[in-house]
Amino acid sequence: MNIKSLLALSSFLLPTLAVPQYASPSYPTISNDSNTTNPQTPNFSSQRLWNLTNRFLQNHMYPLNIAQSLSINSSLLSEDILGRVDATRDYAGRELNTEYLFGLFANIALNPDAFTLLGYPINYTFTRFLGQGNVVSFAAVVEYKLPVTGTTIPQELDFWVTYNDKGEISQYDGCVLIPFLHYFLFPLPPSLLLSFPTLVPTTNRKESNFRYLQWQLNSTIATIAKLQNLSTTTDLTPLLHAKLATSICETATTFCNGTNLQYESQATCEDYLGKQTRFGEGWEWGMDTVACRMIHQNMVPLRPDVHCEHIGPSGGGMCVDDRTYVGNLEEDYFVNTPFLAPGLEGGVM
Ligand SMILES: *[C@@H]1O[C@H](CO)[C@@H](O)[C@H](O)[C@H]1NC(C)=O
Ligand SMILES: *[C@@H]1O[C@H](CO)[C@@H](O)[C@H](O)[C@H]1NC(C)=O
Ligand SMILES: *[C@@H]1O[C@H](CO)[C@@H](O)[C@H](O)[C@H]1NC(C)=O
Ligand SMILES: *[C@@H]1O[C@H](CO)[C@@H](O)[C@H](O)[C@H]1NC(C)=O
Ligand SMILES: *[C@@H]1O[C@H](CO)[C@@H](O)[C@H](O)[C@H]1NC(C)=O
Ligand SMILES: *[C@@H]1O[C@H](CO)[C@@H](O)[C@H](O)[C@H]1NC(C)=O
Ligand SMILES: *[C@@H]1O[C@H](CO)[C@@H](O)[C@H](O)[C@H]1NC(C)=O
Ligand SMILES: *[C@@H]1O[C@H](CO)[C@@H](O)[C@H](O)[C@H]1NC(C)=O
Ligand SMILES: *[C@@H]1O[C@H](CO)[C@@H](O)[C@H](O)[C@H]1NC(C)=O
pLDDT at res. 116: 87
Q: Which secondary-structure segment (H or E) carries 39? A: none
The answer to whether the beta carbons of residues 292 and 88 sit under 8 Å apart is yes
The answer to whether the beta carbons of residues 71 and 24 sit under 8 Å apart is yes
Task: Report the alpha-carbon distance of residue 239 to residue 244 in Å, rounded.
Answer: 9
The answer to whether the beta carbons of residues 134 and 336 sit under 8 Å apart is no
The answer to whether the beta carbons of residues 223 and 149 sit under 8 Å apart is yes
Give percent of the chain with pLDDT exceeding 70. Answer: 77
Give percent of the chain with pLDDT exceeding 90. Answer: 48
Task: Report the alpha-carbon distance of residue 289 to residue 321 in Å, rounded.
Answer: 9
Determine the distance separating the centroid of ligand 1 and the alpha carbon of 36, expressed in angstroms: 8
Choose which CATH entry (3.40.50.1110, 1.10.10.10, 3.10.450.50, 3.40.50.300) describes domain 3-22+38-178: 3.10.450.50
Q: Is the C-beta atom of 38 inside 6 A of ligand 2?
A: no
Predicted confidence (pLDDT) at residue 1 exceeds the cutoff of 50: no
Task: Report the alpha-carbon distance of residue 253 to residue 249 in Å, rounded.
Answer: 6
The answer to whether the beta carbons of residues 277 and 29 sit under 8 Å apart is no
Determine the distance separating the centroid of ligand 4 and the alpha carbon of 281, expressed in angstroms: 34
pLDDT tens sequence across 129-148: 999 999 999 999 889 898 88
Name, in order, each residue with C-beta under 8 angstroms of 197's C-beta and a sequence gap of 6 or more: none
Task: Report the alpha-carbon distance of residue 59 to residue 21 in Å, rounded.
Answer: 11
Task: Report the alpha-carbon distance of residue 254 to residue 257 in Å, rounded.
Answer: 7
123: β partners: 143
pLDDT at res. 9: 34
Pocket test for ligand 1, best of 33, 34, 43 (most atoms within 8 A of CB): 43
* Amino acid (one-letter) located at 4: K
Q: Point out the ligand 4 atom lying closest to the alpha carbon of residue 71.
A: 13
pLDDT tens sequence across 37-57: 789 999 999 999 999 999 999
Q: How confident is the model at residue 80 (pLDDT cuts 50, 70, 90)?
A: very high
Q: Which of 337, 45, 345 is nearest to 170 (CA)?
A: 337
pLDDT at res. 182: 30
Q: Which of 64, 227, 238, 214 is nearest to 148 (CA)?
A: 227
pLDDT at res. 230: 81
Instruction: Verify cis geometry, omega within 30 degrees of 0, for the bond prior to 39.
Output: no
Q: How confident is the model at residue 306 (pLDDT cuts 50, 70, 90)?
A: very high
Task: Report the alpha-carbon distance of residue 185 to residue 179 in Å, rounded.
Answer: 12
Determine the distance separating the centroid of ligand 5 and the alpha carbon of 123, expressed in angstroms: 6
The answer to whether the beta carbons of residues 294 and 248 sit under 8 Å apart is yes
- Ranges of CATH 3.10.450.50 domains, the chain: 3-22+38-178
Q: Point out the ligand 5 atom lying closest to the alpha carbon of residue 124.
A: 13
- Other beta carbons within 10 angstroms of residue 271's beta carbon come to 15
Q: Is the C-beta atom of 343 inside 6 A of ligand 9?
A: yes
Task: Report the alpha-carbon distance of residue 247 to residue 252 in Å, rounded.
Answer: 9
pLDDT tens sequence across 234-287: 788 888 899 999 999 999 999 999 999 999 999 999 999 999 999 988 778 889
Predicted confidence (pLDDT) at residue 293 exceeds the cutoff of 50: yes
- Other beta carbons within 10 angstroms of residue 81's beta carbon come to 25
